[in-house]
Chains A and B, each alone.
Chain A
Amino acid sequence: MARGFDIRRFPGFAGASWAVLAFLYLPLVSVVVYSFNANRLVTQWAGFSWKWYGEVARRPEIRDALSLSLRLAATATIFATLLALGGALGLTAMNRRGSGLALALIGAPLVIPEVVSAIATLAFFVLIDLPLGFNALLLAHTAFCIPFALLPIRARLNEIDHRMFEAAVDLGASRWMTLRRVTLPLLGPGIMSGALLSFIISLDDYLISAFLGGPSTTTLPVFIFGMIRNGITPAVNALSTLLLILSVVITSFSYYFGQKRRLS
């Protein structure tokens, strides 16, 4: 056997991995870089400029779309997190069969292709005469955010030492007090992480929002999609960069809470 044999060393794996990381990040970097391009021709570099960010800030329809997306994401996050929190707590009291069925239902939005969810929900809302717009968006967004909010809450709930609850009961806590003073504070990082994921997922959605928003309720991704369709301008890059920064910041936060969850 060769000298210095190490089963942890696979020649070429490191190179391949760095190449993959480059593949993942270079496209994003190019969007960011060209968002500072002074030239109206998007990919012909003509010096550094902030002007496209200025344009993004000035256009009222972008501000409207952004504010709608943020409001929608925030509201859907609150509803989804509350429903997921109740769901996770209730699941602990179910038997195997019951919780299996409940989890299949909660996980359904994860496996149903988005295009099917979009058209099916559209048909459903048309049938029950629910007008398209913010409320329709809120219902649909809440539904597909629930599984993302539930995952970290449930993981955290399973990690809590059951003696914590016994200690609370032993010290005289009622069921409600145990929930309020022990369970919820200990679930804190899981709830936070679930809420952040919901927020990102709501902000990420294009297809469902395009179908359910109707003509007048345009979320930011739907607006960007329209801009791309009308011809790529550097303003798209600037807007995309802003959305990118938002995603990275929220993901990092969620990751931080996830780590905290694991360490404690």
Chain B
Amino acid sequence: MGNLSIRSVSKQFRAPHGGATLALDDVSLEIAANECFVLLGPSGCGKTTLLRCIAGLENPDSGEIWLSGERLDTEPPFRRKVNTVFQSYALFPHLNVADNIAFGLEMDGRKRRDCDAAVSEMLRLVNLEGMDKRVPNQLSGGQQQRVALARALAKQPDVLLLDEPLAALDLKLRRSMQFELKALQARTGITFVFVTHDQDEALALGDRIAVFSEGTIRQVGTPRQIYDEPASRFVADFIGETNVLPLIRHGDAVEVAGQLQPASSVIGATDSDAVALCVRPENVRIDPAGALSATVSSAAFLGSIMHYSLTLGDGTMLRMNLAADATEQPTVGSSLHVSLRHLRAVGP
């Protein structure tokens, strides 16, 4: 129970003075039951629109959405076994914590006094015991977040939609909430669909990630696949840090910063739609036997890593990360040779 199937969904928004933006352009996705699925992309890429289509707050122009083998998009929102944790929570300010959590249960026709057991169970689930009589503006951001979570989970949905739920929290709290959410998802067995623009959050939380851009899905995969095997320059650039170099082919060889390398040493170089070369900064290695000579132009200490900017012989800039405790750390201005591991040719 709880597998979502999104089939060719499109949604267009018309601007007040003519013109239209395509928020979703023929999007198809299969989300498995009990999966923590992340929709990742820059703001305005359509990920929230997709979430709202699943919730029933927007209607797709075309396409279908199915949940557990049943058509979902034709149902009114209140008949969908789907609930949402809203961005900035949307807690009802006139109701206390317990009444907020009980709200959805009452809408199913239950009497308020019959909800108490379910409410306390939810409060326990999100570690808010004893907070039931507080009103939302007496709670911290993190506590409000937990109430929003409890309120949506109280309805025991098949799918929980989370719209940037951690965006309003500070960095430390965000990190710890990510672990809690992951644990909660595993414990409840509910399918999570999580929208975020924060790639670290996506990597930390997602069983699988769909990277969105301009209303289309650019890549779907596990965090490791997305990071290690980006399908496009956009994905490589958006997830983590990457060096992007022009791809110049010379018959069987590929030119990398003025040096010819056999195409077989570059992953994906034979793909016809490849347009650029990508290499992660941590895959740039100091290698006395390396083909590329470089000068260190700047260095920065970033805690666990050292970050270097290198200038290659032909003037190309290259970023390199070394573990901060590595024994060999070059000085600014020094010359060295580097080699590139996992060099990958990608599409646009």
Binding site for B on A (CB under 8 A): 161, 163-164, 166-174, 177, 181-182, 185-186, 188, 264
Contacts and interface: CB of A to CB of B under 8 A. Distances in A.
Contacts of A169: 56-57, 77-78
B78 A167 contact: no
A264 B94 CA distance: 9
A186 B93 contact: yes
Interface string B75-89: 001100001101110
Which of A161, A169, A185 lies at the interface centre, i.e. has the most chain B CB atoms within 10 A of its CB?
A169
Nearest to A160: B93
B112 to A, nearest CB: 11
Nearest to A171: B104
B155 interface: yes
B151 interface: yes
Contact of A170 (B57, B88, B137): B57
Which of B78, B93, B106, B137 lies at the interface centre, i.e. has the most chain A CB atoms within 10 A of its CB?
B78
17 contacts: A166-B57, A166-B86, A167-B90, A167-B92, A168-B92, A169-B56, A169-B78, A171-B104, A171-B152, A172-B78, A172-B108, A174-B78, A181-B103, A181-B106, A185-B94, A186-B94, A188-B94
Nearest to B79: A172
A167 B84 contact: yes
Given A161-B90, A164-B90, A181-B103, A171 B151 contact: yes
B173 interface: no
Contacts of A185: 92, 94-95
Contact of B83 (A163, A171, A173, A177): A171
Interface residues of B, number: 25
A166 B55 CA distance: 10
B107 interface: yes
Contacts of A177: 107
Which of B88, B92, B155 lies at the interface centre, i.e. has the most chain A CB atoms within 10 A of its CB?
B92
Contact of A171 (B94, B107, B137): B107
A166 B151 CA distance: 14
A69 B83 CA distance: 52
Contacts of B78: 169, 171-174
Given A166-B57, A167-B84, A172 B104 contact: yes
B155 A163 contact: no
A171 B79 CA distance: 9
Contacts of A170: 55-57, 77, 83-84, 86, 152
B93 A264 contact: yes
A174 B107 CA distance: 8
A171 B155 contact: yes
Tell me the dominant secondary structure on chain A's binding face: helix
Contacts of B56: 169-170
Contacts of B92: 164, 167-168, 182, 185-186
Interface string B86-124: 111011111100000001101110000000000000000
What are the nearest 3 A-B pairs in CB distance? A171-B104, A172-B107, A163-B90
A32 B326 CA distance: 86
Nearest to B55: A170
A161 B90 CA distance: 8
Contacts of A168: 92, 103, 107
A169 B95 CA distance: 16
A66 B107 CA distance: 46
A183 to B, nearest CB: 11
Contacts of B55: 170
A173 B106 CA distance: 9
Contacts of B90: 161, 163-164, 166-167
Contacts of A166: 57, 84, 86, 90
Nearest to A184: B94
B250 to A, nearest CB: 56
Contacts of B91: 167
Given A168-B92, A168-B103, A172-B78, 17 more contacts: A161-B90, A164-B90, A164-B92, A166-B86, A167-B86, A167-B90, A170-B57, A170-B152, A171-B78, A171-B83, A171-B104, A171-B155, A174-B78, A174-B107, A185-B94, A186-B92, A264-B137
A166 B152 CA distance: 13
Contacts of A182: 92
A240 B84 CA distance: 57
B157 to A, nearest CB: 10
A27 to B, nearest CB: 42
A144 to B, nearest CB: 31
A173 B86 contact: no
Nearest to B108: A172
A37 B282 CA distance: 92
Nearest to A177: B107
A164 B92 CA distance: 7
B278 to A, nearest CB: 39
A193 to B, nearest CB: 16
B86 to A, nearest CB: 5
Contacts of B103: 168, 171, 173, 181
B86 A163 contact: yes
A158 to B, nearest CB: 16
A171 B101 CA distance: 10
A124 B55 CA distance: 54
Contacts of B86: 163, 166-167, 170
